[in-house]
């Protein structure tokens, strides 16, 4: 029987965000009461809150925004690889970590790097991905990379080598996924960014569906 895995963070007050970025807030603006039949709320948050997609505008002033980002990469077959025991905190995913685990052709790759996702705190020394690893994925036909860490690049990176390697390869990016309870293997991914004009990123409701 088909199984669905929700690999999204729960967006909530107190959700960890990139240091200095906007905290998430939700405020009730209408309440069910005499004369008002509905509850309505307003939210404020960063475009990179929780599980999210980066648009090209995030790291390139001439890049497309979320509204104009093609959607095909965010739906379809995906291979999940667990490197949480191979890449240490502060380390980088290198080609040799991937070569033996990747099929010759792969559409989308999700990489688990946290042994346990840090729902309650920020981990500044999270593992990241090398530009060479991105190029290897591209050579295998990969059109999307997804990670459970906050960024492809280390927190203190100013050159964003992995992001620009993704850009050169025409790949899509998902960050901040929750992969703790998903066995490595092949799945169907659905993780669509919102159609927000001018946005450099968007939260997603990311799910994996088993192939059998």
Which residues are marked as active site? 58
Distance CA 29, CA 104 (A): 53
Tokens of 159: 């050159």
Distance CA 72, CA 155 (A): 29
By C-alpha distance, which of 15, 21, 27, 25 is closest to 200? 21
By C-alpha distance, which of 50, 71, 72, 7 is closest to 209? 7
| DSSP H helical ranges for 73-183 | 95-98, 131-139, 161-169
CA distances from 64 to 73, 100, 138, 198 (A): 15, 34, 20, 8
């Amino acid at each position: 029987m088909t199984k669905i895995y929700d690999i999204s963070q729960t967006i909530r007050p107190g959700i960890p965000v990139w240091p200095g970025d906007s905290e998430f807030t939700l405020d009730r603006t209408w309440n069910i009461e005499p004369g008002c039949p509905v509850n309505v709320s307003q939210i404020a948050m960063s475009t990179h809150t929780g599980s999210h997609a980066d648009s090209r505008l995030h790291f390139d002033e001439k890049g497309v925004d979320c509204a104009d980002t093609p959607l095909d990469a965010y739906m379809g077959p995906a291979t999940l690889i667990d490197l949480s025991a191979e890449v240490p905190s502060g380390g980088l995913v290198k080609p040799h970590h991937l070569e033996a685990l990747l099929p010759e052709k792969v559409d989308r790759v999700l990489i688990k790097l946290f042994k346990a996702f840090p729902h309650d705190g920020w981990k500044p020394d999270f593992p990241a991905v090398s530009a060479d690893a991105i190029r290897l994925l591209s050579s295998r036909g990969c059109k999307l990379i997804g990670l459970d860490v906050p960024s492809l690049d280390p927190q203190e990176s100013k050159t964003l080598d992995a992001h620009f390697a993704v850009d050169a390869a025409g790949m899509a990016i998902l960050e901040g996924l929750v992969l703790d309870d998903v066995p490595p293997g092949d799945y169907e991914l659905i993780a669509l960014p919102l159609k927000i004009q001018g946005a450099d990123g968007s939260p997603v409701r990311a799910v994996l569906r088993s192939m059998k």
